[in-house]
Chains A and B, each alone.
Chain A
Amino acid sequence: DAGVIQSPRHEVTEMGQEVTLRCKPISGHNSLFWYRQTMMRGLELLIYFNNNVPIDDSGMPEDRFSAKMPNASFSTLKIQPSEPRDSAVYFCASSRGYAPYEQYFGPGTRLTVT
């Protein structure tokens, strides 16, 4: 079975540009999570969805970040405008059920903003 799919795997962009990260969760999973990982701050939860509805976006750093889940098989995380401090690895994860239980992570998107 395919795991969580993320695209692109690597993204290099200039400051001020819009960045869109994409995620396809595992089929049948109804919770989806976006994380950011940096050396300084470790792994941070940005937002999570349950049944396509955003439940908690308190981890989203600022208004430049937005996330959508238009259907059960697709989610996006958008940064507009991007800044160098947004450089990080962004992970998407999915799980069955509302509580985190067993989360399955994608391979991540490494974002570099110059």
Chain B
Amino acid sequence: DAKTTQPTSMDCAEGRAANLPCNHSTISGNEYVYWYRQIHSQGPQYIIHGLKNNETNEMASLIITEDRKSSTLILPHATLRDTAVYYCIVLDSNYQLIWGAGTKLIIKP
């Protein structure tokens, strides 16, 4: 079973920041949070991961709350090509990714 909870779907206007929330209230102290996305008919794509501190790369920013029970992925200037399913993931006991249903993000012109 997935250890994260995400909204089923979200809309965002092109050019605006897309903020995708994720709850992971049972996360343990040494577990990372990973974000991937899957554009239609393609394989999933790694975006970012983090443990405690906020992280930023060329694709996105990851904000993790101090209690680590939730996080937010931020796409600062969403484009139509960012329309995809976004997965917030933690590892299972075998250190493998647990894929939930994700959030379907639709970027609108």
Contact = CB atoms under 8 A, between A and B. Distances in A.
Are the chains A and B members of one assembly? yes
Interface of A: 4, 42-45, 48, 56, 91, 93, 98-108
Contact of A108 (B34, B43, B46): B43
A43 B99 CA distance: 6
Chain A CB within 10 Å, residue with most, of B34, B36, B44, B49: B44
A108 B44 CA distance: 10
A10 to B, nearest CB: 11
B20 to A, nearest CB: 18
B26 interface: no
Can you list the 4 inter-chain pairs with the closest CB atoms, starting with the nearest? A105-B43, A43-B99, A102-B46, A99-B95
Nearest to A92: B43
Interface of B: 34, 36, 42-46, 49, 91, 94-97, 99-101
Contacts of B34: 100
A100 B43 contact: no
B97 A42 contact: no
B96 A100 contact: yes
Contact of A106 (B43, B91, B94, B96): B43
A105 B44 contact: yes
A104 B97 CA distance: 13
B44 A91 contact: yes
Given A42-B101, A100-B91, A107 B42 contact: yes
Contacts of B94: 56
Contacts of B99: 42-44
A101 B91 CA distance: 10
B95 A104 contact: no
B41 to A, nearest CB: 8
Contacts of B42: 105, 107-108
B96 A43 contact: no
